[in-house]
Structure 1
Amino acid sequence: MNRADDSVYRKTARGVAALATRSGALAPRARMALILVNGHDSLALLAGKLGADAVALVEMLFDGRLIEEVVAAPVPAPPAPPPAPVVPADERLASLKRKAIVRLTPHFGPDVDVVCRPLLAAATNEAYGTALAAIESKLAIYLGRKGAGSLLADLRPGGDLP
């Protein structure tokens, strides 16, 4: 019988009983091999521990029904990731508005409510986009066109939310 190096063996009830009785029915090398069979180590690992006669010892224990081959259970497929939560448009817009206030407060200070009033009143993405463009033009005076654009880039209504 030809054994694969990646085969794994475990003791049978008969094998456990043979170790417990210490009857001397097993040769010392076979007893040591039976002790080393643990249901986890492969035949290659056992060969490293037992030496060149490992395959013959495993064959003898297997034929005597003292050990049995461990059949690997099929690996279950990983569970599917939960679907991403769908954020309603009004919640997305509300999140963008909150983010805009936090981002613009250092630039407008106590006047942030006045400057952002059209933005906060926007009920649609289009109205929000128009109000954001007006704020961007005010910021461009101080930060430059590119600076204002980069500051507000992720606040655009078409952009993805984090």
Structure 2
Amino acid sequence: MATIYSKTADGQNEIETRARRLTPRARSTLILVDGKRSAAELGKLVQQADETLQALLEAGLIEVVVTKSAPVKDTIPAPLAGGAPAAPAPASGMALVEFEATRRDAVRAINDLLGPEAETLALRMERATDADQLRIALERAVAYIANARGGGPAAQFAGKFLSNLQG
């Protein structure tokens, strides 16, 4: 069974303020918790993942979102009665599902590329409520990736995610 965790409001606050002075391993794990990766996937990225996730859970910084053997994409709830979207429309011509998928995938990619260094960039992307805000965050990410990893990875990231927002 796959257990998926997401950050709580306290967890988001901890990333922004560092008020609890978490250990580097706990902080890195908290940053990597995105509501999409399973505990098994996190276990490949950090040492002692089970113990660290349990400690973050007990501290109220993360919560269990899904405990299933089904893929996460199959657990997305159906639209609310009345058909109202859960978030504002992202941009003209771009479907909400496509926007959310682009944002989610970009956050995962930046975390995979840069690890804990991507914290601020990932938070900006997660907070984006429309395509313009996401495009600005992605452009900053491309510049940061170019400085940290070089032009090749930056161009790949830009090609994959910025091209989705060009209309």
The bucket for the TM-score relative to the shorter chain is 0.3 to 0.5
TM-score (norm 1): 0.40
TM-score (norm 2): 0.39
- Identify, as 1 or 2, the structure richer in strand: 2
